[in-house]
Structure formats: C-alpha cells, structure tokens
A and B are shown apart, each in its own frame.
Chain A
Amino acid sequence: SQQGEEDPQALSIQEGENATMNCSYKTSINNLQWYRQNSGRGLVHLILIRSNEREKHSGRLRVTLDTSKKSSSLLITASRAADTASYFCATDAGAQKLVFGQGTRLTINP
C-alpha cells in the first residue's frame, strides 16, 4: 500500500522556472526522503529530512516538512532540461522499510 500521495501527478514547465511537488503521508515518520528516477532506471537519492527538521537545502533543491499536516514539498529552482524525470517521496516510519508515493512526472520544456 502507498502511504504517500504526490501532487501533481504530472508537471510541465519551461526551462528556468521553478518546480514544486508535494507529498502527503498518513502516519508518524522518522524521516522523509526524495528521489529522482530517469526513464525507469534506478532511484537517485536527493535529500533526506528528519521528523525534527522543517527545511533543508541542497543546491537548487529545497525541501520542507510539516509533520502537523503530514506533508512535504520539494522545490527545484531554475529548472534545467536535465531535471526532466519522475520524483518520488518515501517515508521511513520504522519497520526497516520505505513507503513510496506514486511519483510526480516532471517535464522541463526548452
């Protein structure tokens, strides 16, 4: 079963614009992780945010976590064609496993 729900399911923007993806989940978590996947290949780890953190940055990525609303967002600034991919959030609620959302398909148009 999927704990996370991602919104939107698909997003198409122009190169240089910012892209925002949202993730909601259902149970208390230890951390939430964001991944990128290109064309059915492996998952590339982007960022981990722990339950006691509210915001983290990594390069052009900004992740927020609101545990009271059980939601997270991923912001990609100044998008590039190479950012075209599917993005997944995954929650770690203990039990030694990640529970994934269905993903957001991001397309960057030149």
Chain B
Amino acid sequence: KAGVTQTPRYLIKTRGQQVTLSCSPISGHRSVSWYQQTPGQGLQFLFEYFSETQRNKGNFPGRFSGRQFSNSRSEMNVSTLELGDSALYLCASSDGWNTEAFFGQGTRLTVV
C-alpha cells in the first residue's frame, strides 16, 4: 500500500496570501487529521475528518479550515497568512478507533 501523500512538499508564500495543502490518505483509511509543527509549540492538532465530516478541531483561528472529499482525500486551507504560520504541516491517516496513525512527509510552509 502506498503511504500518506502530502503535496506540495515545500511552499513559500507572502503575508496576506492564502494557501491550500493536500493530503491523500492510505487506501481504505477514512480518518484524516492535520497537525502543525513549529519549534516553539511543537506538534499541535488542527482538525480531524472522517467520512467528509469534521469531528474535532484544535485551538486555531478560523483562518485555518479544512475539508474531506468522498474519496477520503483532504485539504487544509490557511487564509490571510501570517509570519507565524510558517511551520511543517503534517497529515495523518488511520483506519479506525484505537489504531495506528500514519503520517505523511509533511508540507513545509514558509511565509515571508
């Protein structure tokens, strides 16, 4: 099975712009979650989707949003980018409750 695929791997954006990141989960996995990793805050949960429904959301401003499609692929969007949004964004997929969560290689976002 192919692993979790995130695109693009690297992005450079200007403050005020918006960005969309994509995540394709492992085939058959219906749960997709997103995390932000920064040196100061570590790994923080953004949101989780299951069968196109957001089931949980972390403590991030409304500029961070996401969605999941019927094929379980997920996108996250960040609008009105700020310098502090520079981070590694990681996506994970899992196939059910109390099972392993497998991560992609991440998207490195730099806001200038």
- A positions within 8 Å CB-CB of B: 2, 30-31, 33, 35, 40-45, 48, 50, 88, 90, 92, 95-103
CB contact list, B36-70 vs A, under 8 A:
37, 42-45, 48, 50, 55-56, 58
A30–B98 CA distance with the chains assembled, in angstroms: 6
B48 touches A41 (CB 8 A): no
Query: In the complex, how many residues of chain B place their beta carbon closer than 8 angstroms to a beta carbon of chain A?
Result: 29
A45 touches B31 (CB 8 A): no
Contact of A43 among B42, B56, B90 (CB under 8 A): B90
A100–B103 CA distance with the chains assembled, in angstroms: 13
How many A-B contacts if CB must be within 8 Å? 61
Interface string of B81-101 (1 = CB under 8 A from A): 000000010101000011111
B42 touches A98 (CB 8 A): no
A13–B100 CA distance with the chains assembled, in angstroms: 29
Contact of B98 among A2, A50, A100, A102 (CB under 8 A): A50
B50 touches A96 (CB 8 A): yes
A85–B41 CA distance with the chains assembled, in angstroms: 19
Given contacts A43-B90, A43-B103, A98-B92, could you give 19 more A-B pairs where the C-beta distance is less than 8 Å?
A: A30-B97, A40-B37, A40-B88, A40-B106, A41-B105, A42-B6, A42-B105, A44-B103, A45-B102, A50-B98, A88-B43, A95-B56, A96-B55, A96-B56, A97-B33, A97-B45, A97-B48, A97-B56, A98-B35
